[in-house]
A and B are shown apart, each in its own frame.
Chain A
């Protein structure tokens, strides 16, 4: 690996974890952040590659706590290689690969398999997440100690809720020894059974069975109570309802060890999109690109999520990147697979929120960097001198239209297709090496 030095020149350097927000030059050397020239270090001597960043934002590479890379078992939907290419395009330098592969990541051998592929094929850092239960069946705990030793960063059966309260309790209790969080998909299997979208007036108009918000709220409440009982660490995946937000907020106030994530799509879209609502023009109803679990919820839920970002109830923005092959989506709505391919639209959707004045840019970056790392105790998401040189350079003003055919991800399933997003990655550095450059965006930015 060439260990060249890079000087990222004249960008707005935003490192929320260290409360840094200034215009300057960032120096990367030998795969590490040397620092901000004139503050942390002197100007570089000798040969240095330069990246012009005037008018651009320079931030720590984003960290995605929740991402489905599909390998092993569903390589027609995504591979570790294509998934990490997509991550790099989206500005992510670290992704946590969920355990619901086929076979699931419930033993040391599976963890090592993923790590090996990631090392040889992956373009950015892949951190495996181990299963909570053997085979994701929700009956017997997986060998968490072995998984922890192998290097998982959390445990999750995501894909399926943990049906048994007893199993969830034991998982939280047993995981204490390893200091790793349990990441449940919180929903009630009986209430959500057969549902295809959020229960509400839109489901009524479309004649689709609904997934009620009450299911998520009930199980989040259960899991929070169990976390409080056991002292285990709970990280609530893809929170989508105002009811769940209320529960988490109160739990945090009480000091329960709970963290939470929200997806870009839940922060920006609503169930009206299933009926064809779009920002520009109109989509057609029953577009399966809007089918996701948890489903897109009401505007009131969405607003609660944004408020929860602002008051810290939500610690991280995580994509829940769920790519699918077209055969799994080009069918009746009830039949279609749940999921949105989100790595390459995450920044654009979140900066659209900034552009609309709902949150500010620093908060958005914090929820993509320091926030997730704090939740999982990861040593990334920072531009501190000596940190890995994982850097994203992006244009926060660039408006662009989403064309799924151009995704690096094999999954083209996105509700944002044809819509305009704000904010686009110009370059992504992983370990000091540029793993993604977008010349078109770089050219278009006025200097």
Chain B
């Protein structure tokens, strides 16, 4: 088996279950590397990874930086200033500049959906999407899948509930793709104003053949009903701007109806995992005692992020047809 036969990682919608498994398996071994006294292997020595973060993020950026460095790659961090939106010509120009400077991989995060696709279309470097607008965050979904598999042992047949502002969540979308592809059943739980239009889809299975619909998932706006019997409860960050944007009457109402409390967690399966992509608004979408409670694997998610990103960087640099 060779590395991933792909140049870019833009979203999980075009990953096969076999590819996802390949990444998770490699991440397991990368986690072992992270447990060594010297957390460094020369696998990507001589390769250059550029982290181009148009949107600020400490956690994801540091995670990618550590992942690349652990593989002995050279890392360059570029952050765009403040919140000023970059006009697109500079995205394309920037990508061509990186290419000319010898970047093998560019990791991009941007506040607008689709920017990594624009970047990928104008470079021969590899592009990894570290989060674009509301659209996708594939590495977060992979580390979520890894964390679930690590604790429960498998993914197929699991019942996973995603609670919160799904409409504006790139984590939720990528998680939906990854979970459905690996055979899990997904329930979305949110007020209707924060749910995306999932549509009817086409064909029989949960995943459309036409590529223009999200996978079929269950929608349950009542949080108590939604979490019943779940194996995993995933809380999404509730941004305060949603309330001022008129999508919610008040945060208080959201907290009352959707906060992941101990009582709600008790309605899930015993030992169900509680997850959150971070950063958390403790007391809003998740109660502090749950966030730090026994069923929470939120901190492991962060640790696993480095291992998963190492796995991805390593597997992307495989060339050839896999003959050993």
> CB within 8 Å of B: which residues of A?
199-208, 210, 271-272, 275-277, 284-286, 327, 330-336
Q: Which residues of B contact A204 (CB under 8 A)?
A: 167, 196-199, 213-214
B11 to chain A, nearest CB (A): 9
User: What string of 1s and 0s marks CB contacts (under 8 Å) between B216-233 and chain A?
Assistant: 000000000000000000
Interface check B118, CB cutoff 8 A: yes
Cβ of B239 under 8 Å from chain A? no
Among candidates B88, B167, B170, residue contacting A331 with C-beta atoms closer than 8 Å: B88
Interface contact B136-A199, CB-CB below 8 Å: no
Size class of the B contact interface (CB-based, 8 Å) = 20 to 34
Complex-state Cα separation, A170 to B177, whole angstroms = 52
Residues in A whose Cβ lies below 8 Å from that of B288: none
B317 CB-CB contact with A under 8 Å: no
What residues of A have a CB within 8 angstroms of the CB of B201 in the complex?
201
Most buried by B among A202, A204, A275: A204
Contact of A205 with B91 in the complex, beta carbons under 8 Å: no
Q: In the complex, given contacts A205-B212, A207-B136, A275-B212, what are 4 additional A-B residue pairs having Cβ atoms less than 8 angstroms apart? A: A204-B198, A277-B211, A330-B89, A331-B88
Q: Report the Cα distance A447→B306, complex, angstroms.
A: 69
Q: State whether B197 touches A199 (Cβ < 8 A).
A: yes
Q: How far is the CA of A286 from the CA of B133 in the complex (A)?
A: 12
Contacts of A206 in B (CB 8 A): 113-114, 135
Partner of A202, one of B92, B114, B173, B212: B212
- Chain B contacts of A203 at CB under 8 A? 197
Within the complex, which residue of B121, B167, B197 is in contact with A201, where a contact is CB–CB below 8 Å? B197
Residue-wise interface mask of B (99-132) relative to A, using a CB-CB cutoff of 8 A (1 in contact, 0 not): 0000000000010111101100100000000001
CB of B199, distance to nearest CB on chain A (Å): 3
- Chain B min CB distance to A335 (Å): 6
Q: Give 7 A-B contacts (CB < 8 Å), ordered by A residue.
A: A201-B214, A207-B134, A208-B113, A275-B211, A332-B88, A334-B112, A335-B87
Give the A-B contact count at a CB cut-off of 8 A: 94
Inter-chain contact B118/A331, CB cutoff 8 Å: yes
Known pairs A207-B170, A286-B117; A331 contacts B89 (CB<8 A): yes
Also in contact, A284 and B121, with CB within 8 A (given A201-B212, A201-B214, A330-B88)? yes
In the bound complex, do residue A207 and residue B173 qualify as a contact, i.e. CB atoms below 8 Å apart?
A: yes
Contact status B113-A286, CB under 8 Å: yes
Residues in chain A near residue B170, CB distance under 8 A: 207
B2 at the interface (CB under 8 A from A): no
Indicate if the CB atoms of B133 and A334 lie closer than 8 Å. Answer: yes
Verify if B35 is at the interface (C-beta below 8 Å from A).
no
B197 to chain A, nearest CB (A): 5
Q: Which of A201, A271, A275, A332 has the most CB of B within 10 A?
A: A332
Partner of B197, one of A200, A331, A333: A200
Contact B211 A333 (CB under 8 A): no
Q: What residues on A are CB-neighbors of B87 within 8 Å?
A: 327, 331, 335
Contact in complex: B89, A327 (CB < 8 Å): yes
Distance, CA A200 to CA B199, complexed state (A) = 7
Known: A200-B199, A206-B113. A332 touches B118 (CB 8 A): yes
Q: Across the interface, which residues of A come within 8 angstroms of B173, CB to CB?
A: 205, 207
Please report the C-alpha to C-alpha distance between residue A264 and residue B197 in the assembled complex, in whole angstroms: 27
Assembled-state Cα–Cα distance A275/B212 (Å):
6
- In the assembly, what is the distance between CA of A276 and CA of B212, in Å? 8
Residue of A nearest to B214 (CB): A205
Max chain A C-beta neighbours (<10 A), residue from B170, B196, B212: B212
Q: Is B210 an interface residue (CB 8 A)?
A: yes
Contacts of B247 in A (CB 8 A): none
Q: Which of A200, A206, A207, A336 has the most CB of B within 10 A?
A: A207
Residue of B at shortest CB range from A336?
B88
Report if A207-B214 is in contact (Cβ < 8 Å); known contacts: A330-B88, A335-B112.
no
Q: Which A residue sits closest to B119, measured CB to CB? A: A332
Across-interface contacts of B135 in A (CB, < 8 A):
206-208
Contacts of A334 in B (CB 8 A): 112-114, 133
- Nearest first, the 8 closest Cβ-Cβ pairs linking A and B are A331-B88, A201-B199, A207-B135, A286-B114, A207-B134, A204-B196, A207-B113, A332-B112
Quick check: is B80 within 8 A (CB to CB) of the other chain? Answer: no
Is B85 on the interface with A (CB-CB < 8 A)? yes
In the complex, the answer to whether A332 meets B197 with C-beta atoms within 8 Å is no
Q: Which residues of A contact B167 (CB under 8 A)?
A: 204
Closest chain A residue to B120, Cβ basis: A284
Once the chains bind, are B117 and A285 in contact (CB under 8 Å)?
Answer: yes
A282 to B212 Cα, complex, angstroms: 12
Name the distance in Å between A131's Cβ and chain B's nearest Cβ.
29
B191 CB to closest chain A CB (Å) equals 16
A331 touching B91, Cβ below 8 Å: yes
> Considering the chains assembled together, what is the distance between the CA atoms of A334 and B201 in angstroms?
25
Identify the closest chain A residue to B113 (Cβ): A207
Contact status A333-B113, CB under 8 Å: yes
Q: Which residues of A contact B200 (CB under 8 A)?
A: 201
Cα distance, A203 to B214, chains bound together (Å): 10
| CB-defined contacts of A336 to chain B, threshold 8 Å | 88
Complex-state Cα separation, A208 to B85, whole angstroms:
16
Please, how many angstroms separate the alpha-carbon atoms of A332 and B173 in the complex?
A: 19
Q: How far is the CA of A437 from the CA of B248 in the complex (A)?
A: 60
